[in-house]
Amino acid sequence: MQSKHTRYWILFICFTTLFGIGTWLVELMEGSKIHTTEHIDFGLVLILYGGIGGSVVFGIFMLPLTFTMQRYFNNMLIKMMVYLTVGYFMGRLIFRLSFQDEHVQYYNLSELSSVLVFMGAGLVYALVDNYTTHKKE
């Protein structure tokens, strides 16, 4: 039996790790197409930066959303749909923050890869959320 706080620490670690790896994967897939000095390639350090950004996003947005989902919509299918939608919008946001419009057009960068990476992260988060919810009971 785990305490209530352990569940949220697990979700925090899961989200920050997924966010960091997702940010790095988007950079790896799309940023590697850019061959100018205007674009900085952070490499694996981007996982750390993404994790730091992910911890802020978790505290401000995902933790209250997780509380709300657990209290009012404790159904796995609904959680998956909500977290996939969050992943969709996170993917779009990260892509727009990471790449300038002229790079997107000139190097033919695809926002879809970012969206798919973060929707996958949302799906994994939903599965971990469901697992930790049932593990608690």
pLDDT tens, 54-112? 999 999 999 999 999 989 988 999 999 999 999 999 999 999 998 888 888 988 999 99
In 55-83, which positions are buried (b, 16+ CB within 10 angstroms) versus exposed (e)?
A: bebbeeebeeebeebeeeeeeeeebbebb
Give the tens place of pLDDT for each residue, 11-37.
Answer: 999 999 999 999 999 988 888 888 766
How far is residue 136 from each of residues 3, 66, 101, 132, measured CA to CA in Å? 7, 15, 46, 6
Quote the pLDDT of residue 37: 64
Q: Around 66, how many Cα atoms within 13 Å sit in the side-chain half-sphere?
A: 25
**What's the domain range around 59?**
4-136
| Model pLDDT for residues 34-63, shown as the tens digit of each residue | 876 666 667 778 788 888 999 999 999 999
pTM score: 0.88
Task: Scan for tokens 């988007």, then name that residue.
Answer: 26
As for how many domains the chain has, the answer is 1
